[in-house]
A = this chain, B = another copy of it.
Amino acid sequence: MLDRATQQAATDIATLMHDMGKRARKAARRLATLPAAQKNAALKAMAAEVRAARAEILSANAEDIGAMTANGQTEAYLDRGTLTDERVEAIAAGLEAIEALADPVGEVTASWERPNGLRIERVRTPLGVIGVIYESRPNVTADAGALCLKAGNAVILRGGSDTIRSNLAIHAALVRGLAAAGLPEDAIQIVPLADRAAVGEMLKGLDGALDVIVPRGGKSLVARVQSEARVPVFAHLEGLCHLVIDAAADLDMAVSIARNAKMRRTGICGSMETLLVEQAVADTHLVPICAALAEAGCEIRGDAEVCARFPGAVPASEEDWRTEYLDAIVSVRIVDDLDAAIDHIETYGSHHTDGIVTSDQAAAEQFFAQVDSAILTHNASTQFADGGEFGMGAEIGIATGRMHARGPVGVEQLTSFKYRVRGTGQVRA
């Protein structure tokens, strides 16, 4: 049984979170009908306030980093949490980039007329209230807050506790920007506590106040959110991306795309983790591609035939086909044909991004039709799996679910819709 102080603290957190939910819902109602110009004015003011608060933000961040260092965090983790003059400027510039995007709200995405003269329009509306749960990367505070606002949504942010001082400093600047433009300050709220119980409350949906939750972070965070959330989640658990070198693949293109898909950046979700080479081109394509990857610093884990053909390879285990390395490692398998490649992807893949290199249009169309992933690429690097590269301007993440949003989640994906039926007195027979 919990002691009285713990019980009281849990009650306080639940009360706090539910109150945030109510305030977010109220703000969302106002945001839903704001003209684009007013939201843009707020985004511009938010950028100015972030720049003006640079010293304050950096000082808060220095405290965060000091505490993390004292706790013995790794270099990579510290780097993700660290802010500099340049990074604060990048946060402000990011707000301006979101300001520059087209406002999706109010866009008519379909319209048609019925034989009885009714005109029906489907028009974009905000989704409502979005919960964003993220790890210790302070820039997400501004990015996620702004993207939700642009689409007319209220947002409740809950950042990693290791950068809570930085997050609160950035959030304070955002709220000053909201106020300057006459927007409700509750449009962007942040959970002011490091207590994990706050996350638990968000996952339960705050009494219906949260419409969707977006987790931003590593696999364990996403896994927890996906398994516990009682509201819809936009996320991907992992990006176990494949590249198929088809029987009709151009060799130079295959080498170039494989190297880029794996090695451009190994830590992003669109990086290739498994290379599937069809038997027909094993003699000609396998070694040059493996050599190019190895030369770029990549470890090759191959099946028996790959190891026999490419001496630099080490044997892959069954586990390798299920592993998202996020590192300079690739698993390589020779498959009988395209059907076998597709079977492999459907067996081991994560439905994120998968690609094929082929000069055979029919093979590409088969791949497009039969692989059930959010993004499929033909003769292009899997690293194009990105909202910016898609022309969406900014993304809050990439989703692999089949509901509502799939692939890059940008401002359009943060909207819902409604139908407007325009009549001249029609009644139903």
Binding site for B on A (CB under 8 A): 29, 32-33, 106, 112, 114, 118, 120, 123, 125, 127-128, 211-212, 230, 232, 250, 253, 256-257, 259-261, 264, 346, 364, 368-370, 372-381, 383-384, 389-391, 402-404, 406-407, 416-428
Contacts and interface: CB of A to CB of B under 8 A. Distances in A.
Q: Closest 10 CB pairs between A and B?
A: A380-B423, A260-B427, A402-B416, A404-B404, A383-B428, A379-B423, A377-B421, A253-B425, A380-B426, A381-B427
Nearest to A366: B33
Contact of A403 (B114, B212, B376, B379): B212
Contacts of A125: 372, 402
Given A33-B369, A260-B428, A380-B423, 17 more contacts: A114-B389, A118-B389, A127-B402, A128-B402, A232-B403, A253-B425, A256-B427, A376-B418, A376-B420, A377-B423, A379-B425, A379-B426, A384-B423, A384-B428, A406-B416, A406-B417, A407-B419
Nearest to A421: B377
Contact of A379 (B212, B373, B422): B422
Nearest to A231: B403
Nearest to A351: B418
A374 B418 contact: yes
Contacts of A376: 418-421
Contacts of A370: 32-33
A106 B108 CA distance: 22
A425 B380 contact: yes
Contact of A404 (B114, B264, B403): B403
Contacts of A391: 112, 114, 120
A402 B208 CA distance: 12
Given A403-B232, A425-B257, A418 B379 contact: no
Contacts of A368: 123, 420
